[in-house]
């Protein structure tokens, strides 16, 4: 796309001249096209009226299950709890082998080894939050150590939090450098790198203009995924926020050729909501984002509702919550 509304750098996807100084980075981010709140919310609501039935619903539910990052991020987490959740992640519906596994199990860094051992070769990935999750209020070397430890313990994916205070204070370069440093800390000795998801905590950034700016900031700094929320702050994921992020990854790929994934997290509890997100991915970013590699749901209670709807579609009947495991 010949982009005039979105400034480009001569070097294409090399952002060196944009990120050379605080002022050039600010100029770039503030030069991104604005987001009209009313219009964005209207578009999100409009997509929410799509009617997804029968075969389309069955497809969407299985797809949504395969995109779940099954999450437990509690102070009360134990190894037993993580092992139980790992079993659920691999076989969400023990009575039905055709039910897909979820994408990943998301835990605190100290639980990574347990999760990794429990998941074995199932193909379900281990995601670990890091960088002083959820507030991000710690010294930089602590955040990096947190990340390295999780990677060393076998985490396939790192969900970092940004310093929202720095972003709101306009210290964009600081946020950029932090993300880039964490991305570097995701490197493994074998030359591979854990995938980095950048949690922007959009509930604290509040405006859609900020969401668009922080999305670009994270992508330029090397994020593999941009993620809405920690789940610890309200509001967490919303459809309009996800809309703005999907527009950002779409435009970023148009401009650089590199694809970035999107993960709404927190507050998505029903299959109906999940399907609205999938419709939005389909119509805003495009159908090729509709794979677990590029779109995830950060959720815990969503999975059982998906399973319940899945069983309903297969049998024509609703079964009670006791027919699905509580882990």
Partner 1 sequence: MSTFEYAPAPESRSIVDIAPSYGLFVNGEFVDGHGHSFKSISPSTEEVLAEIAEADETDVDLAVRAARRAHSRVWGRMPGKERAKYLFRIARIIQERGRELAVLESIDNGKPIKETRDVDVPIAAAHFFYYAGWADKLEYSGYGTESVGVAGQVIPWNFPLLMLSWKIAPALACGNTVVLKPAETTPLTALLFAEICQQADLPPGVVNIITGAGETGRALVSHPDVDKVAFTGSTEVGRSIARSVAGTSKRVTLELGGKAANIVFDDAPVDQAVEGIVNGIFFNQGHVCCAGSRLLVQESVADDVLDRLKRRMSTLRVGDPLDKNTDVGAINSAEQLAKIRELSAIGEDEGAERWAAPCELPEHGFWFPPTLFTGVTQAHRIAREEIFGPVLSVLTFRTPSEAIEKANNTPYGLSAGVWTDKGSRILKMAGALRAGVVWANTFNKFDPTSPFGGYKESGYGREGGRHGLAGYLKGEARR
Give the end-to-end CA distance of the chain in Å, rounded to a whole number: 47
Determine the interface stretch with partner 1 among 1-9, 78-86, 110-118, 261-269 (rule: CB under 8 A): 1-9
Instruction: Answer yes or no: 159 catalytic.
Output: yes
Longest dimension (CA), the chain: 60
| 3-state per-residue secondary structure call for 88-129 | HHHCCCCCCCCCCCCCEEEECHHHHHHHHHHHCCCCCEEEEE
As a whole number of angstroms, the distance between CA 203 and CA 10 comes to 34
3 state DSSP class of 195: strand
Active-site residue, selected from the candidate residues 69, 93, 156, 159: 159
Bridge partners (DSSP) of residue 171 are: none
Nearest approach, Cβ of 55 to partner 1 (angstroms)?
Answer: 5
E strands, 143-217, where?
157-161, 195-199
Instruction: Answer yes or no: 263 catalytic.
Output: yes
The torsion of the CA quartet 270, 72, 233, 40, rounded to 10 degrees, works out to -40
Q: Is 3 in the site for partner 1 (CB under 8 A)?
A: yes
Nearest approach, Cβ of 105 to partner 1 (angstroms)?
Answer: 22
Number of residues near partner 1 (by CB under 8 A): 34
Q: Per-residue x/- marks for partner 1, 224-263, CB under 8 A?
A: -----------------------x----------------
- Binder of partner 1 out of 18, 25, 29, 35 (CB under 8 A): 35
Q: Is 114 in the site for partner 1 (CB under 8 A)?
A: no
Residues tagged active-site: 159, 227, 263
Contact set with partner 1 (CB under 8 A): 1-6, 33-36, 38-40, 42-43, 49-57, 59-60, 63, 247, 278, 282-283, 287, 290-291
């Amino acid at each position: 796309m010949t982009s005039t509304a979105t400034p480009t750098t001569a070097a294409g996807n090399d952002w060196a001249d944009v990120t050379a100084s605080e002022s050039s980075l600010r100029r770039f981010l503030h030069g991104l096209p604005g987001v009209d709140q009313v219009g964005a919310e209207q578009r999100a609501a409009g997509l929410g009226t799509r009617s997804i039935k029968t075969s389309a619903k069955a497809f969407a539910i299985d797809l949504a299950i395969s995109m779940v990052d099954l999450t437990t991020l509690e102070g009360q987490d134990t190894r037993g709890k993580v092992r139980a959740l790992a079993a659920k992640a691999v076989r969400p519906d023990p009575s039905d082998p055709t039910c897909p596994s979820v994408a990943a199990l998301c835990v605190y860094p100290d639980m990574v080894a347990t999760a990794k051992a429990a998941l074995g070769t199932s193909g379900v990935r281990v995601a670990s939050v890091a960088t002083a999750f959820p507030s991000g209020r710690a010294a930089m070397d602590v955040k990096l150590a947190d990340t390295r430890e999780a990677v060393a313990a076998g985490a396939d994916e790192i969900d970092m939090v940004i310093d929202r205070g720095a972003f709101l204070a306009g210290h964009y370069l600081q946020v950029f450098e932090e993300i880039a440093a964490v991305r570097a800390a995701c490197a493994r000795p074998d030359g591979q790198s854990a995938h980095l998801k950048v949690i922007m905590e959009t509930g604290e950034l509040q405006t859609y203009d900020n969401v668009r700016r922080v999305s670009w900031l994270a992508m330029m700094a090397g994020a593999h995924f941009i993620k809405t929320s920690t789940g610890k702050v309200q509001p967490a994921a919303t459809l309009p926020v996800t809309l703005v992020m999907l527009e950002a990854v779409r435009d970023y790929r148009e401009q650089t050729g590199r694809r970035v994934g999107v993960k709404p997290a927190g507050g998505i509890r029903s299959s109906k909501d999940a399907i609205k997100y999938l419709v939005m991915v389909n119509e805003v970013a495009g159908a090729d984002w509709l794979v677990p590699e590029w779109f995830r749901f950060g959720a815990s209670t969503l999975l059982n509702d998906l399973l319940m709807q899945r069983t309903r579609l297969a049998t024509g009947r609703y079964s009670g919550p006791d027919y699905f495991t509580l882990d």
